[in-house]
Structure 1
Amino acid sequence: MDNVILYVRVSTDEQAGRGYSLRDQEQKLMTYCQTNNLNIIAIYREDYSAKTFKRPEFKKLLDFCKKNKKSVNQVIFIKWDRFSRNTAESYQMIATFNALAIRVNAIEQPLDLTIPEQGLMLAVYLSIPEVENHRRSLNVTSGMRRALKEGRYMGSAPLGYDNGRDSAKKPLLIPNKDAVLIQEAFELMATGIYNQKEVLIKLKTKGLKSSKTPFSNLLKNPIYYGGIFIKAYKDEKETIINGLHEPIITKSLFDKVQDILNNRRQKHHTKHKKLNDKFPLKGFLLCPVCNNPLTASTSKGRTKHYSYYHCISPCNGRYVLEEVSQWFNDFLDSISLNGPIKKLFEEVVKEQLSEKAESNKLGPKHFEQIKKIEQKLERLQDMYVDGEIEKSDYQTTKIRYENIVTELKEKEKNDFDEKVLFDLYQKAINKMESIEKQYNNADIEGKRLLLGSIFPNKIHFENKKVRTADVNPILNEISSINKAYRGIKKWDKSKKLDMSHRVTAKGFEPPTLRAEI
């Protein structure tokens, strides 16, 4: 009989009505253990986000496992998004448990992580919640940009302003007592007599609370003449629009200060060296001998020029440009999501998104809760009209109920959109196709952006190959699957490359998903 630890987790923004409650998870896990003759030795209950493993109860769980590794066989949970929503950290944590000879698994999404194909399934399980969260953050960004375009400043008020509300209860900046000092700062700078340090010292004696860098940024902020800066986003260029708040200075005064600052900056301006198209890997490669960053250069031989990535002293190792490029292209080819593998990956993602959408649907409890709060608001208003409660109590309670209703209705706006998320996945999957060609056809900036996305740190070469420890773990899984598929294609075309995660556990009968290549 295996000894197991149960881990149940629900974040503060998840609803019990969607099957995420701690009690619901715990009951399912206990039933599973009873059916499969597993001995429960501990239960850890968490009310924390899964973005990282810096969770109080999970830390206790890990410490317990390290101290009692001989008596723990498994750590189990309902689904993989209960374990983590961070793909890279998850692989590292699984490796930690493997080192303790402890298996981790989800009873509703069981995987055999010794099989590369199922390792990729794990990446799908973990990345779907990440994509969902990212989509929601994009919705928030879109809402904030709409407010900015309407002339409303979003965020903490800059020096010289306080956050306030207009008659419609919408955010509005209101000048405070520091506004006079801000105006004086611009006026002193506009004389051209003082530098920034001198102006800051003068104003500090009058009560301005700032330091060198924030003060420098203050002098370049269009907010003070009534402008609101909107960053570039997708196809939209950066722009400055007229805000609804009261300006502290005039536009002409602001422009005069910018002219003075720009003239002073040009005197000390230094040009940065342009990147060399010939050496895209410069800055990413580490010397396999001394682990220092490799530089690159071209030297003249008797008959032609020779280019190298090379190390400085003490090891002075050097590597022919063409050979390094070939090694790197071989690696890119190994992580490309090609042909049947790409199609299979899309099908797996589609199925998982469909399941996620079904489980995320807002149930009757959600709408019942809104109705109950709205009824309470009506009763509260009647009590106030009848003189049963004071005005201050009425206003405080009314705001609290209205905030609850707003939060619940916001969840409806951010409900899981299966089609949008699949489109995002499809775009990402397409970008993982023929990575070698994408890299070789890109300009120097495009190549370096691609390198940065593949390698979280630097690149090591071992035995004329890219060291896999440096690579994004999902790409490692793709590489393993490609090797398996190419081996099957070469030796036995009748064999299957099975990516099914549905390893049916005892007492469990989930549906199966199989694909043949």
Structure 2
Amino acid sequence: MTQKAIIYARVSSRAQASEGHGLSSQEARCRDYAASKGWEVVATFPDTISGGIDFMKRPGMVALLSFLDAQPNENFVVIFDDPKRFARSTRFHIDLRDALRERGAQIACLNFKFDDSPEGEFIETIIAAQGELERKQNGRQVGQKMRARMESGYWIHTAPVGYRYVTVKGRGKMLEPNPPFDGIVREAIEGYAAGRFETQAEVARFLESFPNYPHLKDGKLKQQRVTDMLTHAIYTGHICSERYGIHWLKAQHEPLISLETFDKVQQRRSGSAKAPKRKNIGDHFALRGIAVCDCCEVPLRSSITKGNGGHYAYYLCQTKGCEAYGKSIKRDQLEGDVGEIIKALQPDQSVVRLLTDMFRHIWYARRAQAADIKKDAQSQVRAIDKKIEALVSRILTAQTEAIVPVYEAEIVSLEHDKARLTEKMQKQVEPKGSFEEKLEPALAFLANPWKLWETPGGAQVHLRRLVLKLAFGTRIKYCRNQGARTPEISFPFKALEGFYMIKCQNGAGGGT
């Protein structure tokens, strides 16, 4: 009767299986060996997993043992290429050897002859121990290289959403922003920090609005993914790793957000929870949350009704007991009345020119001030470095272990302060571009806010909200019969109005 054989092949990772030829070459050699012995190969069981773990956690080996259990009356030979493919742990090697013996299976190896004599078992144990030693030494070397890489400012783990790995000559693989997801992540984090998104659930809904966003399952994103994104220091351009004892190390890659934004996010997360934002918040209503009922001073609600073959947008008061309760106002009417107020904000052009000269003077004064701020921050960083050195010395000379975690926590806090100051210094570099490139667009808005208010297109609602936020210091009261009440205008337009009055009093204006 022909001896039946089973082949077991293993590589240490799925990448080796998909990109290399380890499994196929092992199987080919084992088949040649079986043919030379006249054995019939009836099954092959591959594995793509590290050999240091319990063999019962290897899918291929579990399947092999199940195959043997299903045919208890058959005598099989299990063939494998090398003892290292069998197990790279002395204990698991012996346990697996016993498991195969209990099932009546013989073992054949291309690079080693198994012998059931005491001497053979001794040599086999030595071989298994050598494999385990090599595995642990390799693991130590890899760990040391990974630590060194991290300490040099390079992220070594899976690229977070918003980044991707690229190979840079002389620097190896490093993170770089990955469009369009870098912009999506930045908007999500900054939106949460600024209060645009009140809860993490709103952040999740924002991310879910992008069909190609990673990690979506049936169009939904797990809340843990959002938490991980909001708390990942990697987006600030810093590396933190409890495993390697690294805290707020300046990284080599480009940040997506500032450390200031990151801190705001953590402060919001540690604060009291707020009710989720409604999905139908009214993206078609520029004055939603800004216009209030003149009678009860409660923000007007928005509504889109369907009838007569079309859709009609309205604002209305829904405060029970108010005399305006349930009475609707056409959206175009209300927003048109407010637009007339904005049109009236356009200041005298001579005042705008005067204000431009003032801002130009401030612009150059701030550039000089930036140098002083940077110098002060450098002094604070040096002081922090001295404190850290002192704490490290205390740790080395500590009499009790209990005090060490206290010192370590203080060092982490100081490292965070140092990173914040370093970021502050980087922001104080001489601004790129000219005054005209930086401030003239803002002055152009002050000179003619109506132009931005009337911008056509899909972004009109968002631009109108921006104009309202910049132009007015209070909400706008609206009466259904008498129209919009003039709200308190914001400081920039107050300043322009004040300049114009002063100029007229001094006889410098008033003409054409």
Q: TM-score range by the shorter chain?
A: 0.3 to 0.5
Give the TM-score, by structure 2 length.
0.38
Tell me which of the two structures has the higher relative contact order, counting C-alpha pairs closer than 8 angstroms and 6 or more residues apart: 1
Give the TM-score, by structure 1 length.
0.38
**For the pair shown, which has the larger CA radius of gyration, 1 or 2?**
2
